[in-house]
Copies of this chain bind each other. A is one copy, B any other.
Amino acid sequence: MLKYIDVANRIESTIKEQKLAQGTKLPSLMNLCEQYQVSKTTMVKALASLEQQGVIFQVQGSGIFVRLQKRPGFISLTTNSGFTHDLSGYKITSKTLELTTVTATSDLQEKFECPSDEPFYFLKRLRYIDDQVLCIENSYFRQKLIPYLNREIVEDSVFGYIQKALNLKIGFSDKFLRANTLNTEDAELLSLPPKSPGFFLDELFYSNSGVPFDLSQNVYNFKHAKFFMQSINK
């Protein structure tokens, strides 16, 4: 475990355990260095990481302060931990509707920069929050990188499997967001009246070496899905 990550985690845990309010002042930089027995540079890096995550904010010449991070009921777009983590406290379940092999559509060809005969796993599932439909997930996994998938893996955690069994590390992702009217099929799946609005979130995931391996096209129930993100202007 890297030192600055470890220190960052420990500071974050302390903040959460003590339930410090937004704006609470933390000990000074040099003070924290002594407390955690690391150099100034390492502490600066740990704090920069926490600031990026929205856990704290730093004011030059003044101090280090707690920033309110979690908003109960909101799905975080910043932290990529998946909404099972964001929505802890709610009952999250899922149902697999389809798991098949398909070849690249024109959309996939463009997004993955691949030929039309490249094979993908297509996974369609519903995700529920407290037994109400939260979203429809349409995922395309590139078989070049994910050579095998089955229903068991999918019922558990695809990303967990990808990282542990295949040792494929997630590097970064692009997200595309918009609203639109639901089509008949999606409205029905989401248990909503025809022509209800939908929140559309497309995510393209890249490995740590920059190769795209998963496109997820998600349609969220507007009544249950609210999103949240934090940014810093530096």
Residues of A within 8 A of B (CB): 23, 52, 54, 57, 59, 62, 65, 67, 71, 74, 77-78, 80, 170-181, 195-199, 206, 208-210, 220, 222, 225-233
Contacts and interface: CB of A to CB of B under 8 A. Distances in A.
Contact of A177 (B54, B170, B177, B181): B177
Contacts of A62: 209
A82 to B, nearest CB: 11
A23 B207 CA distance: 13
B179 A222 contact: yes
Most buried by B among A57, A80, A171, A174: A174
A196 B232 CA distance: 33
Given A196-B181, A198-B179, A173 B65 contact: no
Given A173-B231, A229-B229, A179 B208 contact: no
Closest 8 CB pairs of A and B: A197-B197, A179-B199, A179-B179, A177-B227, A179-B222, A172-B232, A170-B233, A179-B197
